[in-house]
Amino acid sequence: MRSFLLPFVLLFAQTLAFAQVDKRTRATLPPPAQPPTTKATTLPAKTGPKKDPVWTRPPKLVVGIVVDQMRVDYIYRFWNNFGSGGFKRLVQEGAFQRNAHFDYVPTQTAPGHASVYSGTTPMNHGIVANDMYDRQRNLVYYCVQDDAAIGVGATGYKGQRSPINLLSGTLADEFERISAGRSKTIGVAMKDRGSILPIGRTGDAAYWFFEGTDGHFGTSNWYMNEVPQWVKDFNAQGLAKRYLQERWDLMLPKESYHTALPDDNPYEEPLAGAAKATLPMDVKAMYEAAGLSTVLLRFIPASNTYTTDMALAAMKGEAMGQDEVTDLLAISYSAPDELGHEVGPRSYELEDMYLRLDRELERLFLALDEQVGQGNHTVFLTADHAVVDVPSYLRDQQASAGYVDVQEVVDLVNQKLGERYGSGTWVRKRIKEQIFLNDSLITAKKLVAAEVQRAAADILLGHPLIADAVTAADLARNTYTSGIRKNIQRGYMPRRSGDVCYVLRPSHLASYSNSGQRGTDHSSAWTYDTHVPVLMMGAGIRPGEVVRRTSITDIAPTIAMIVGCALPDAATGDPVPEVLR
């Protein structure tokens, strides 16, 4: 064995010795010969100038615009009456998502604003309706109600408002976090919920219309203890009262408008103080008949002018977009919804309001160009929901449409549950298309809540004008990935939603004993309520059209990609790559 290993031992020793000599003499030995090089390997690599990612140069100002109750087809219908600087500029210079939808119910103002800016649906952000029900207190409460809050800058009950009921973050929160609080985040709207919910819980300020005889914009002590001087100066102008002295008439020749209905028709509800829902309107007389209450301003085009005035005052007063930190100005135009409920989408009044809103957008965009600079701002415009045509009008056109007496629905559920389980008031509360059952009665009779819920749902499913009904127990245990139930589930939150959620047939609205069959409403999962425009323009936006289906919850993630900030904490939407530059 030793003789066998000896040659290997000697070879190892010689190699080691050679290595030691080489290590000691390496500096003096000539370099080893190298293979000949080619021209390609000797030339430096060709590299162009390095470009920083787009998100390292974010816009100085993001302006989010929500038009309350806007259908996407308004852009198509009113196109030839629009000017060049408003809606047309958004379409021609920006990105138009033509098939964007809300993918939850109820499609209402408060959930809509919260969803646009949080990038998620009510099941996560908690704003499940404009008015919500507290089972423990047996109390209906408003979505931004805060009894501990106090009005600042204006007086009245509307001071008791804050984002306290919002359970997830928004774009404004993320702007504040990425800038260590240096970002200016401000919301402006006639409706309190339209200004509060976009700005979230940590944004700088939300200003809304307090109505009354003053017609001032104010806020609450959630945000500050005293309004800035620019707000005091703005209110001192008395613009609300001044706008209520003006007459409202068509801005274009009557034959230019897009409606087959006469101005005076049976499907529209007159505004308070007016005998008919027709133009021209003597706004001054209506204002005086209302005891000089500025509430009338909410329903007329001057409301949008007043909102733009306030937004521009905020932009200037807070020097928004004047440094390298991205600011957020959230504007909500509330008047189209207030008017739309009364007159519907086929009226002269509504089209005229949109033509005048178009001019307000142009005024806003020109101010952005001048004060912030083209290429330094990003704008998005969408809606918080759309709306159905007046059902009585559709019915008269022989469409499948109509009304459902909601008290008869409640009485039916009470009657049938009483026959099955014994007498009692089984329906504790109904809010829109949600029924809250009597928990105390279910417990007293030693019943299983899920079984009573399912029995109530079966009763509703037997109604000829109810398309679907689903129980809270099923929503908690199942995952629905398509259809109406998916939308119901995404809008459902335990402790804030009902025991049974139901959906009326398409183009059917709830009716009440004191309501006529004029005007319209929204809240459903049908496309006339879910389909809204999404338009984006400016820094970081690639112009063009997107016709594939997108979600309203995609807006916040898309803006986050442009700004270079985190997505809001509960965001479920995705960025839309086609619109990103």
**Quick check: 479 and 232 in contact, CB under 8 A?**
no
The residues with which 124 forms a beta bridge, in sequence order, are none
For residue 140, give every residue at least 6 positions away whose Cβ sits within 8 Å of its Cβ, in sequence order, or none.
Answer: 131, 132, 133, 134, 429, 431
For residue 28, give every residue at least 6 positions away whose Cβ sits within 8 Å of its Cβ, in sequence order, or none.
Answer: none
Say how far apart CA 197 and CA 112 lie, in whole Å. 9
Rounded to a whole number of angstroms, the CA Rg of the chain reads: 31
The CB density around residue 418, as the number of other CB atoms within 10 Å, is 13
The two structure tokens encoding residue 500: 């049974």
Say how far apart CA 66 and CA 63 lie, in whole Å. 10
The closest alpha carbon to 360, from 66, 70, 85, 77, belongs to 85
Residues with a known catalytic role: 109
Q: Which amino acid is at 561?
A: M
Residue 210 gets which letter from DSSP?
A: -
The closest alpha carbon to 489, from 548, 572, 575, belongs to 572
SS3 call for 48? coil
Angle at 554 between CA 536 and CA 166, to 5 degrees: 110
* Dihedral sign, Cα of residue 270, residue 271, residue 273, residue 274: negative
H or E segment to which residue 62 belongs? strand 61-67
In terms of Cβ atoms closer than 10 Å to its own Cβ (0-12, 13-18, 19+), residue 303 is buried
Between strands 139-142 and 131-134, the pairing is antiparallel
SS3 call for 135? coil
Residue 281 gets which letter from DSSP?
A: B
| DSSP codes, 477-538 | H----SHHHHHHHHT--TTTS-SEEEEEPTTEEEE-TT--S-S-----SSHHHHEEEEEEEE
The closest alpha carbon to 386, from 106, 170, 128, belongs to 106
